[in-house]
Amino acid sequence: MTAQILEGVGFFGELGYGEMPGAPSLLDACNKRGPANKDKVVAYLRSGALFIISPGYAEDYFDGSHAGKLSFLTDGTYAWPGSLAHYVDRYDVALPAEFEQFMEANAWTVPSGIDPIGLAFRPTP
């Protein structure tokens, strides 16, 4: 059986993902998204299926406040850090257009019943 390879999104270098080839910059992504569908995007990101979790919490890069759990979430096609919704909500972080189009095509709903067994993660931005 071949594993489903998840596409990584939101793994910013400043958040400790700098070792990932081509990790994008959080600083470059801030204040780059418009208001369109922001609430739907944030809700989608928060409702992802748990893929990987580690004890503890992620700190906000800018002010040290709580930014989310140390986790990776998925919709079965993409994977993202548990803190990504925080950055989109608070700092208007832009996401790749193809990811937002994917969310919209799925009516802003993460599929239910995602089984992490059989999923693999490719660490790309």
- Quote the pLDDT of residue 121: 78
- Quote the pLDDT of residue 125: 47
Residue 124: is its pLDDT beyond 70? no
Task: Indicate the pairing of strand 66-74 with strand 49-59.
Answer: antiparallel
> How far is residue 84's CA from residue 82's CA, in Å, rounded to a whole number?
6
Beta bridge partners of 52: 72
DSSP classification of residue 51: E
> How far is residue 56's CA from residue 34's CA, in Å, rounded to a whole number?
31
Which of 23, 35, 33 has its CA nearest to residue 81?
23
Beta bridge partners of 57: 69
- Quote the pLDDT of residue 108: 98
pLDDT digits (tens, 9 = 90+) for 35-76: 999 999 999 999 999 998 888 899 999 999 999 999 999 999
Average the pLDDT over 89-103 and give the result. 96
Give the pair of three-digit tokens for residue 72.
Answer: 């990776």
- Quote the pLDDT of residue 118: 84
Residue 5: is its pLDDT beyond 50? yes
- Quote the pLDDT of residue 54: 87
